[in-house]
Amino acid sequence: MTSSLHIIGAGAWGTALALTAERAGSHVTLHTQSQKQADELSRSRENQLYLPGITLPDNLQITADRHALRDADALLIVIPAQRFEALCLSLKSILPPTIPVVLCSKGIEVGGNNRLLSEIAQAYLTNPLLVLSGPNLAREIAQDLPAATTLAGNKDVSHKVATMIHHTYFRCYTSEDIIGVQVAGALKNVLSIACGITQGMGLGHNAVAALLSRGLIEMRRLGLQLGAISDTFMGLAGVGDLSLTCSSELSRNFSLGIALGRGESLEAILAKRVSVTEGVYTAKAVHELNARLANELPICEIVYRILYKNLSPQEALEQLAARPLKEEIY
């Protein structure tokens, strides 16, 4: 029997996941934010704003009616992290509790308790929760280029949902570390901004490699304090996604960092973008969270100061370079 997979969020990543699930043989319904957007996508069969040039198959259903979710076998949520709580609240009275919910956004709540998305979902929904994260650029997935991802959560449920999206060119690995996969997916965006700034300043490959490797240690350090499994950070959701996001200008976070490193203001960069650059918000969330946890996260903290405290990239470089010599501790 064909599985019915619903996706909320018709941005680049949500649309790409809809395409890859359709290739896996699922019956896919893509939920837009408005009826106007649903009508436009249905008419043009192309997401011209977020994925121009990619044709949407005729059997891909597009709707703005949330009540259609009652027929789903699984739901993927692909919206900006800072809008996640409002969506969960709206789904509370609509979504049957047996439907697995897959969190495909990458971020941490700004303000409040700086919750992971799974913690926000658990406050409103009783559904089985999974997290999907990995080195997956939306346009390449949409183009059906080979990729792999991690689906974390209950082993039986994750295997069931994996069959709905897994196919020859989209390999889906499962994990039970729902915390580690989320921390990795969130922090890699902050670290990607740091690496982009370094490239934008023309500081060379050595500097980027140093930031990437030390950033991985910060990611793991925070993850372990929140209850993650160490090995997760050496997998697709950790070093895999980090290495991709810190090296490709298709990454919104890396390209934002490059622009900052070249002297553009954050306001000017964001004004030209239609998609959310999650790392900007996550940098603030990590700063707030770490004010309570007291971890040593110097790269994440420097990115926060650049974005929110008017620290110049040159001053940031000098502050990182002036840190005292120490043993390399993992």
Annotated active-site positions, please?
Answer: 188
DSSP 48: T
Beta bridge partners of 130: 102, 153
Helices 278-293 and 178-200: crossing angle, nearest 10°?
Answer: 120
| 3-state SS class at 116 | strand
Instruction: Measure Cα distances from 10 to 47, 51, 99, 130, 166 in Å.
Output: 8, 10, 20, 20, 20
Question: 175, 273, 291: which is closest to 230 by C-alpha?
Answer: 175
How far is Cα 105 from Cα 82, in angstroms, rounded to an integer?
Answer: 10
Q: Which two tokens stand for residue 160?
A: 């069931």
How far is Cα 284 from Cα 311, in angstroms, rounded to an integer?
Answer: 14
75 in Cβ contact with 69 (< 8 Å)? yes
Q: Which two tokens stand for residue 136?
A: 């997956």
How far is Cα 149 from Cα 172, in angstroms, rounded to an integer?
Answer: 5
How many residues would you count in the chain?
330
Give the pairing type, strands 147-153 and 129-133.
Answer: antiparallel
Q: Which amino acid is at 286?
A: V
258-289 b/e (C-beta count within 10 Å ≥ 16 → b): bbbbeeeebeebeeeeeebbbbbbbbbbbbbb
Please work out, in degrees rounded to the nearest 5, the angle formed at the alpha carbon of residue 290 by the alpha carbons of 187 and 262. Answer: 50
